[in-house]
């Protein structure tokens, strides 16, 4: 049955408008077994189980060990490198607490056809092949698409109408009708406990797909400030209009957060626009070579953050929190460019951030894969509290 769909039906009725019922049923049943009329699905490259990388492997940062203590996170006022796990306890802040004011969550959609940037989107039918002239990139055939992205907005109960609010932008936001209430509950509790400011959370879904040749890859893996500019000029004004809020212009009051390529996108937003964002939270950050199309100015993609950009640039006023799993991604595609080990990439990030004097905290999670799994439910409140340390609305202009 998987080969028979509305597209097949349309082709049959278009090609044979005068079919008898018996002829139509015969052709329809034949279509069930004919893949030639099917909409082919992209075959994803096989991803073997990533190996476990020891936290004390040669070249790794010198970690402070907190492992073996379930539920224990690094100190919220400490910088540096920490190991936790292998067992985890969900943070109590994930639950609704009686008596704690609850914020409001609403959603709206943005049609790509109404946008100036990223219009139209792109998609691929098959995964790319390595460019024989340049092993750092892929040859990918793409086609234009229209798409809709969902924007989910959390407004805390403590928000005072008409005032400038600090906020956090999160990537890979949920779809329409499926808001992520975990983030809302965490913020409700942290705000009530005065561990973070009364911030607005703006969760933005991508344009779809993943990695090279898809819209999500174009938005998240590209080494430029373009996506930050799209959010600034085309998304945030709609957030203010639809949610009836005012968003601060103070970069110290603006944070960005993401997982995987969303994590590298979060860093890119702040790196290329520290005038807009200065707080970055990345889990399983894709600080590897996935930029597409190839850009000779940043030939290593996001791997270039730790191989070149950060070590060779003056330190920027950024505060960065990162975490990775010891079984995080490792060469999940056809590229073998020695720039596709997520653990190595995050370890290198921590080392160059330390060398340049950045305010950062890096957490290495034992018994955790890509996305951190149960470690994330333990770490999220801690990460947000660490991220917002030192912020005062009095600093805003």
Q: State the CATH number of the domain containing residue 125.
A: 3.40.50.1820
Which of 291, 257, 253, 258 lies closest to 397 in space, CA to CA?
253
Q: What is the mean pLDDT of the chain?
A: 89
Which of 118, 101, 111 lies closest to 151 in space, CA to CA?
111
CA–CA distance, 190 with 200 (Å, rounded to integer): 13
**Domain identity same for 25 and 171:** no
CB burial string 283-313: b at 16+ within 10 A, e below: bbbbbbbbbbebeeebbbbbbbbbbebbeee
Handedness of CA 344, 349, 352, 353 (dihedral sign): negative
Residue 46 lies in a domain: no
CA–CA distance, 218 with 235 (Å, rounded to integer): 17
Residue 234 lies in a domain: yes
**Domain identity same for 131 and 229:** yes
Of the two residues 185 and 28, the one the predictor is more confident about is 185
Least confident of 7-16, 62-71, 269-278: 7-16
Please state the rounded mean pLDDT for residues 212-237. Answer: 97
**Domain identity same for 26 and 95:** no
What's the total number of domains in the chain?
2
* Residue 145 and residue 120 in contact, taking contact as beta carbons nearer than 8 Å: yes
CA–CA distance, 190 with 251 (Å, rounded to integer): 21
The answer to whether the pTM exceeds 0.85 is yes
**Domain identity same for 194 and 287:** yes
CA–CA distance, 177 with 190 (Å, rounded to integer): 25
CB burial string 173-198: b at 16+ within 10 A, e below: bbeeeebbebbbbbbbbbbbeebbbb
Strand partners, 301: none
Three-class DSSP category at 309: helix
Token pair 């894969």 in the structure block, residue: 369
CA–CA distance, 241 with 328 (Å, rounded to integer): 39
**Domain identity same for 210 and 329:** yes
Residue 59 lies in a domain: no
**Domain identity same for 191 and 327:** yes
pLDDT at 19 over 60: no
pLDDT at 63 over 70: yes
pLDDT of residue 12: 34
Three-class DSSP category at 220: helix
Residue 131 lies in a domain: yes
Percent of the chain scored above 90 by pLDDT?
Answer: 83
pLDDT of residue 335: 78
Which of 153, 156, 152, 155 lies closest to 174 in space, CA to CA?
152
Token pair 């390529």 in the structure block, residue: 261
Residue 212 lies in a domain: yes
- Residue 394's pLDDT band, with cuts at 50, 70 and 90, is low
**Domain identity same for 139 and 14:** no
**Domain identity same for 83 and 14:** no
- Determine the length of the chain: 397
pLDDT of residue 180: 85
Residue 58 lies in a domain: no
Which of 188, 152, 181 lies closest to 169 in space, CA to CA?
152
Least confident of 65-79, 108-122, 321-335: 321-335
Least confident of 43-47, 133-137, 170-174: 43-47
Is 61 buried (19+), middle (13-18) or exposed (0-12) by CB count in 10 A? buried
**What separation in angstroms does the CA of 97 have from each of 105, 185, 383?**
17, 9, 20
**Domain identity same for 147 and 33:** no
CA–CA distance, 64 with 350 (Å, rounded to integer): 13
Please state the rounded mean pLDDT for residues 54-63. Answer: 96
Range of the domain at 18: 6-37
Residue 254 lies in a domain: yes
Is 269 buried (19+), middle (13-18) or exposed (0-12) by CB count in 10 A? buried
**Domain identity same for 31 and 82:** no
Handedness of CA 292, 298, 304, 310 (dihedral sign): negative
- Residue 183's pLDDT band, with cuts at 50, 70 and 90, is very high
Pairing of strands 359-369, 80-84: parallel
* Residue 102 and residue 183 in contact, taking contact as beta carbons nearer than 8 Å: no
Of the two residues 232 and 6, the one the predictor is more confident about is 232
pLDDT at 286 over 60: yes
Calculate the CA dihedral of residues 201, 205, 206, 210 and round it to 10 degrees.
Answer: 110
Residue 51 lies in a domain: no
**Domain identity same for 26 and 170:** no
**Domain identity same for 184 and 264:** yes
Of the two residues 123 and 2, the one the predictor is more confident about is 123
* Residue 166 and residue 253 in contact, taking contact as beta carbons nearer than 8 Å: yes
DSSP line for 224-293: SSHHHHHIIIIIHHHHHHHHT-EE---GGGEEEEEETHHHHHHHHHHHH-TTT--EEEEES---SS--SS
């Amino acid at each position: 049955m998987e080969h028979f769909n509305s597209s097949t039906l349309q082709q049959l009725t278009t090609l044979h408008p005068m079919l008898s019922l018996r002829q139509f049923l015969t052709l329809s049943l034949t279509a069930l077994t004919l893949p030639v009329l099917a909409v082919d699905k992209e075959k994803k490259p096989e991803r073997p189980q990533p190996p476990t990388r020891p936290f004390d492997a040669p070249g790794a940062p010198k970690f402070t060990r907190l492992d073996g203590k379930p539920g224990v996170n690094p100190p919220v006022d400490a910088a540096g490198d920490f190991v936790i796990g292998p067992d985890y306890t969900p943070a109590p802040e994930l639950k609704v607490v009686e008596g704690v004011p609850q914020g409001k969550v609403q959603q709206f959609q943005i049609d790509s056809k109404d946008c100036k940037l990223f219009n139209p989107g792109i998609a691929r039918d098959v995964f790319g092949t390595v460019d024989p002239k340049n092993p750092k990139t892929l040859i990918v055939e793409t086609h234009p698409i229209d798409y809709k992205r969902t924007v989910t907005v959390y407004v805390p109960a403590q928000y005072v109408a008409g005032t400038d609010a600090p906020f956090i932008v999160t990537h890979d936001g949920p779809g329409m009708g499926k808001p992520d209430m975990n983030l809302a509950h965490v913020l409700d509790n942290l705000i009530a406990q005065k561990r973070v400011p009364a911030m607005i959370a703006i969760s933005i879904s991508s344009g779809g797909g993943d990695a090279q040749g898809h819209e999500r890859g174009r938005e998240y893996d590209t080494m430029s400030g373009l996506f930050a500019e799209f959010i600034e000029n085309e998304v945030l004004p709609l957030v203010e209009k639809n949610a009836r809020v005012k968003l601060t212009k103070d970069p110290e009051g603006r944070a960005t957060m993401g997982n995987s390529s969303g994590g590298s996108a979060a860093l890119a937003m702040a790196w290329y626009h520290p005038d807009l964002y200065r707080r970055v939270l990345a889990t399983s950050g894709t600080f590897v070579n996935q930029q597409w199309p190839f850009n000779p100015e940043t030939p290593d993609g996001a791997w270039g953050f730790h191989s070149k950009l950060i070590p060779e640039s003056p330190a920027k006023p950024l505060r960065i929190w990162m975490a990775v799993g010891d079984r995080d991604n490792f060469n999940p595609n056809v590229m073998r460019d020695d720039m596709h080990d997520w653990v190595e990439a995050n370890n290198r990030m921590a080392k160059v951030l330390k060398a340049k004097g950045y305010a950062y905290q890096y957490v290495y999670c034992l018994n955790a894969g890509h996305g951190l799994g149960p470690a994330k439910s333990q770490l999220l409140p801690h990460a947000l509290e660490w991220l917002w340390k030192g912020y005062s609305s009095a600093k805003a202009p």
